[in-house]
Structure formats: structure tokens, C-alpha cells
Structure 1
Amino acid sequence: MNEHEIRTLLIKATEDRPAGIDLMPALPRRRLPRLLVPIAALGAAAAVALVAVVLPATPSTAQAQVVAAVENTSQESYRIHTTAGVREFDGAFDPVQRVGVITRNDGTETRIVGDLIYVKDSGDAKWTVSPRSDAELEQAPPAVALVKLAPLDPQAALQRLRTATDVSESGPASGQGWTGTRFTFSLEASGGTDLKAGASARATGVVDVDDQGRVRHLEVAFKDTAGPTVTDFSDFGTPVSVTAPPADQVRQAPADKLGKPTS
């Protein structure tokens, strides 16, 4: 039954109603409030602004992208595999918790717990502890520090990439389960190093950054050395648990060895 039929029935049933009274007045048409249009416009603008906040712009230069990748890699745990000549290193790091563990292919183990680094050579009954920071490496040219730190403290090594120069994008990169971009770079290596005589004053390298902005592959080499030091990063987000050795199994490092990596 439509509105007209209902009105007719009501009129029939109330023919003796007082004059001037309409029991079924016409329903006014609803109009959209004028405020809805500007509010909708404001909502659309807010949505655009929100997208701009949630999705930051990609760094504009190759160097900025590498620096951003260093920061991203320091935000979650990961595993590493490093080769340096005949030596190989496998380990796991959690930069947020500031812990890590590395095992060398000859059995030497290194543990990092906060500001301390523990090293136990294969066959040794005790661990040697020293401060994680090394004044000598902090003052060394970035390339030298990176090569020395990569096997035992990859997070510290990554920080040296901040000073990389001649950074440029060289094409796509990929690995098991990821794709990304490869960058080439140079690092300063002069200033009184202990490199072999005749070694180049600069080091060159490549760093692969995945599509999530994390470092996946890093290698650096000096022109006159046998080969590069290569580190691969994987298994991001995997929990890493490292504890300091028992106190009765720890000895202090000699004064001339404090903080020095044994790579």
C-alpha cells in the first residue's frame, strides 16, 4: 500500500475531523546539510595528509638511501655470514638489545653483551673480556675500521658506511627471498693504517639494499689485497639470545689488547 492509498483510507475514516487538520501531512524532503560538502573535502585532504605521513618519501640520493638502510638494519635482529680470505664467520645480532654472537670457522667464539665483548679461542678454557669500543678503530680510516669490524661486529661496521663517498646506484640486486638495489661506494683508507705495504689509499665496495630498505649484502676491498671482505645479512626478526659467560670463566684482556677484534 502506497502513501496515497493510506491517505485516502485515513480521510474516509475521519470525515468528521475538524476543518484545517491534516492527519497525513506531506513529508518534507531531507536536504543534505551544507556543511557536509566542506567536511567531505576536509576529510579527503586529511586522508591525503595521512598517507604522506605514513608513507615517507624515498631518500633522494644514492648516499641517502644507503644511510637510511644502515638505520633500518639497526632496528631489528638478523643473522650474518662473513668471509674474509680463508676465514668464515657465522652469527646473529640484535642491535636493539645490543647482543650478538659470532663463531669463526676455526672454533673461536665471540659474544657481545652491551658494552663488553667476550672472546674464547678454540681449545681455550676461558673467555677474554674487553670493552666493545676500540679507540684505535674509532680513529682509524672508515675503510680500515669496516674491514676489521665486519667479521665480529657487523653493526659497528655498518656505521662506517655513513661516511661512504662516490655512492651511486648500479642496478638491481637479489638474493634468496628478496630483491632490491645495488649501490657502489668508496671509503677513505689513508691515515696511518696497518695495511700491507702498497695497499690502495681508498677502498671500494658494494652494498645491496632490499625493497624494505635493509642492508642484505656488503663487500669492501682494497685494490692491492687478495680479495674483499663479504658479509650477507638474513633472517631479519629472528630472536637472538646471548648471555655473558660465567664470571669464573672470564679473564681481563691484556692492556695492549683491550677492545681489539681478533679477526
Structure 2
Amino acid sequence: MILGRGAFGTVYKGVLQNGHQVAVKRANSSSSHEMFDKELELLGRANHSCLVNLMGYCQEDKLLVFEFMARGTLLENISSCEWISRMRIAAQAARGLEYLHRYASPSIIHRDVKTANILLDRDWNAHVSDFGLACVDLKAARGYLDPEYGLSSKITAKSDVYSFGVVLLELLSGQKPVDSSRKFQSLVAWVLNLVERREWSSVLVPSLPAPLQPEPLYRAVKLALECSKFASKQRPFMTLVAKRLEEIVEAMAGAPLLSISS
């Protein structure tokens, strides 16, 4: 019944008396009640279709009850996704982050955007998770961390945009955020090198059927690189990112795929 373990607790699959499935996070014994209360307060302020929403809690035992995501993490499922599904997942995750940045009051910076923190329901819809950890001093995982953080030691909404740009590049390329076997270990640098050489098709996952009209995917590559620019001021806000991704999904919806055998 264990769905996952993290630095702040273990997540279990649970079943309510009415048969409804849920995910139950039990905070580690080392977690203080003060930290639990802060996370509970933050989670209680956010509710959106593209988030993993809080359903209930038990303050005494430090339990948080969330919506159950049947397919697990994007990290676990990324190799199973076709092109249209990849871009739709990216667009939905972008809307979830947009909500945290723009509509939550006060706004919430996720701080740890990565494929392991984007969950998928039974219908392959994306839901951003673990944004409640924004109340603790948490920084993005290796490969996702905003390079400006090293200069300012300050996490901003644009730091989430950078991390999301890396996620989008993962969806487009099938590559890891950091890979020591590549000439350019950073995924951002690896993609940028290919784009500068105008080798756009080499960025895309080679095992997937190539679109007859690849321009929407090339636009997604360009968008991902805009998100992952070194200077945060040059990165777009999540509202614009989500809008562009939805336009890309719409453009792809009527575009047939080129069979590998043809």
C-alpha cells in the first residue's frame, strides 16, 4: 500500500468506507507539528483541477489525505506517452503552476518542479503535487535548479518556470535532466547545442513516430529554451507558457503522424 517515500514522509494508498480511493501522507516522526500546520494551511488555500488537491487531514497523527492518482508519476510513465499526450500533460501542469503563482492568495512558489512531482490520473490528466512543501526551505533537484539561485540564493516564481522548462525538454527529448554520458551533461545545454546547429529533429524522442508537421513540437522546444534561460527576467510567466502549450496541443490535434515504416 506504499505509494512513495520522501524526505518529509511516506505516502500510502487508502480506501475510505465508501470505497473511494485516496492517497494518505504520514509525516515523518521528525517533522514538527508547526511544520505540519504550515503545510496544512498552505494546502488548504489551493484547489484546482490541475493540482493534487487536499481532501482531509488528521492533525494528531500528522496525516494528510489527497486525491488518488491512479497512474502515479510522470517520471514513471513518460516512456508510455505519445506526442499529443506529452504536450497535453505539459499544458495541464503549466496551468497548475499558473494557479499557484497567480491565483493562490498569497501566491505559492512550488520550489521542486520535476517529473516526479507531476502525477497522472486514470485518464492521463496531469496534476501538480507536493506544492505544500513550499513552506519549507526546499530547493529544486539537480538538473532542475534555477542557475540564478547560485548568484542570489533567492527562489522566485521564475525559478519554477526554469524547472518547468527542463520538464518540457524531458518530454520532448526523452533525455534525463543531467547525464554524464552526454558531451553536454545538462539537458538544457544539450538541446541548445542542437538548436544552434539547426538540428531540431535530433532533439525529439527518436522512438516515437515523427509528426508529418513537426513545427508545433519545434515551437515547444523553443518555448522550453525560453523557460530555461539563465536570466530570470528573460523567462516567460506561466500564464503565457500554458497558453502557448495549449495552442501547440490544438495545432497537433489534427496533424497525422508519419509511420516509422513509411
Indicate the structure with greater helix content.
2
Q: TM-score, normalised by structure 1?
A: 0.24
- If asked which structure has higher relative contact order (CA below 8 Å, sep 6+), I would say 1
Larger-Rg structure: 1
